[in-house]
């Protein structure tokens, strides 16, 4: 049936799907959704270097692939270095194909950090996307330097000695921004149009760009798989995961929070924080600590805003803080 050239539903169909159905992600996987949104917005003329991790494993069970774009499995530690080489090859051949690098937080915050830093510093024309599910999920939920403070993982179990992870989540955005690259941003699967807009923006920039996408993991975080989007939304609305854009090292825009939710709204949905709701003075102390971290984020990024709740529509969900406006 022909719906005509201007059928409203057709107009809103994504033009391109880079990650197809039939992969083996868990129900409610934030990474699968994030990767679909990123590749949808990036379009077909891309080539991906993908570090080892869940995304690589669940999309390419031998001999199948769920990718509809040229895609290469790098090592766990070198997605950025491989992407840099691919970009140099594209340039040598005079081709415009954009190179993307994909990795989890383990492959980015920890083991791929120096490759990422080198790629940013050398100014390669690569969009690096970190799918941040806040632990080494593919190998059984070990803590990474992105795991939030006090979260339970298999290597940061709560007990007599400690209340989950002792250390803070590494501020990777600040580290990346300190390379003074043209564009670095955070996004969340709970705000898909904001995420797509940021991908399109990065795609249009010549030089290194970086996107950190908060991607809930029902298995590792211990939440109902139907609640992934709600959990992701609460991470933003509590201030625990600030959604911001940085240009050349300075904050350029933020997603405002009108009515910050208490961190307990976010934490109580997840088994990894269950020990914080025990009748234990140490648990109360940790809850206060996490609330203080959220309040700190709200303060330093100036996230608190007046007016109605931000709508997740193109262009309406961020507040510019200087820098260039973009379509």
Ligand X SMILES: Cc1ncc(C[n+]2csc(CCOP(=O)(O)OP(=O)(O)O)c2C)c(N)n1
Summarize as ranges the residues that interact with ligand X (CB under 6 A).
31, 52-55, 76-77, 103-107, 133, 136-139, 144
- Which residue, 187, 182, 26, 211, is CA-closest to 102? 211
Q: Which strands, in side-by-side order, build the sheet including 126-132?
A: 71-73, 46-50, 98-104, 126-132, 209-214, 183-188, 244-247, 250-254, 319-320
Q: Which is nearer to ligand X, 55 or 244 (CB)?
A: 55
Q: How far is the CB of 140 from ligand X (least distance, A)?
A: 9
Q: Which is nearer to ligand X, 104 or 239 (CB)?
A: 104
Q: Which is nearer to ligand X, 136 or 301 (CB)?
A: 136
Q: Which pair of tokens denotes residue 1?
A: 């049936």
Q: How far is the CB of 161 from ligand X (least distance, A)?
A: 24
Residue nearest to ligand X (CB): 104
How far apart are the C-alpha atoms of 165 and 162, rounded to whole Å?
7
Q: How far is the CB of 172 from ligand X (least distance, A)?
A: 12
How far apart are the C-alpha atoms of 146 and 302, rounded to whole Å?
22
How far apart are the C-alpha atoms of 73 and 80, rounded to whole Å?
12
Helices 30-42 and 228-238: angle between axes, nearest 10 degrees: 80
Q: How far is the CB of 221 from ligand X (least distance, A)?
A: 11
How far apart are the C-alpha atoms of 16 and 19, rounded to whole Å?
9
Q: How far is the CB of 287 from ligand X (least distance, A)?
A: 26
């Amino acid at each position: 049936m022909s719906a005509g050239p201007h059928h409203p539903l057709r107009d809103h169909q994504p033009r391109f799907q880079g990650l197809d159905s039939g992969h083996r992600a868990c129900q409610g996987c934030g990474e699968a959704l994030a990767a679909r949104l990123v590749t949808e917005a990036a379009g077909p003329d891309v080539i991906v270097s993908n570090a080892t991790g869940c995304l690589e494993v669940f999309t390419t069970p031998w001999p199948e692939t769920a990718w509809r774009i040229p895609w290469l499995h790098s090592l766990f530690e070198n997605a950025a270095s491989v992407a840099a080489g691919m970009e140099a090859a594209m340039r040598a051949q005079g081709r415009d194909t954009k190179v993307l690098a994909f990795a989890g937080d383990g492959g980015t915050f920890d083991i791929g950090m120096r490759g990422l830093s080198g790629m940013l510093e050398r100014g390669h024309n690569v969009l690096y996307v970190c799918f941040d599910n806040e632990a080494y999920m593919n190998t059984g939920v070990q803590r990474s330097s992105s795991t939030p403070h006090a979260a339970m993982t298999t290597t940061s179990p709560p007990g007599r000695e400690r209340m989950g992870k002792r250390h803070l989540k590494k501020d990777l955005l600040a580290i990346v921004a300190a390379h003074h690259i043209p564009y670095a941003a955070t996004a969340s699967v709970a705000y898909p149009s904001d995420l797509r807009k940021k991908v399109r923006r990065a795609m249009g920039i010549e030089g290194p760009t970086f996107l950190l996408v908060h991607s809930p993991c029902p298995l590792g975080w211990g939440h109902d798989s139907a609640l992934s989007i709600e959990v992701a939304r609460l991470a933003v609305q509590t201030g625990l995961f600030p959604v911001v854009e940085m240009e050349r090292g300075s904050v350029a825009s933020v997603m405002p929070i009108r009515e910050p939710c208490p961190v307990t709204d976010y934490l109580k949905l997840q088994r990894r924080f269950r020990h914080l709701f025990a009748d234990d003075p140490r648990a109360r102390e940790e809850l206060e600590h996490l609330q203080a971290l959220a309040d700190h984020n709200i303060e330093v990024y100036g996230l608190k805003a007046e007016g109605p709740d931000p709508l997740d529509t193109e262009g309406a969900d961020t507040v510019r803080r200087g820098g260039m406006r973009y379509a």
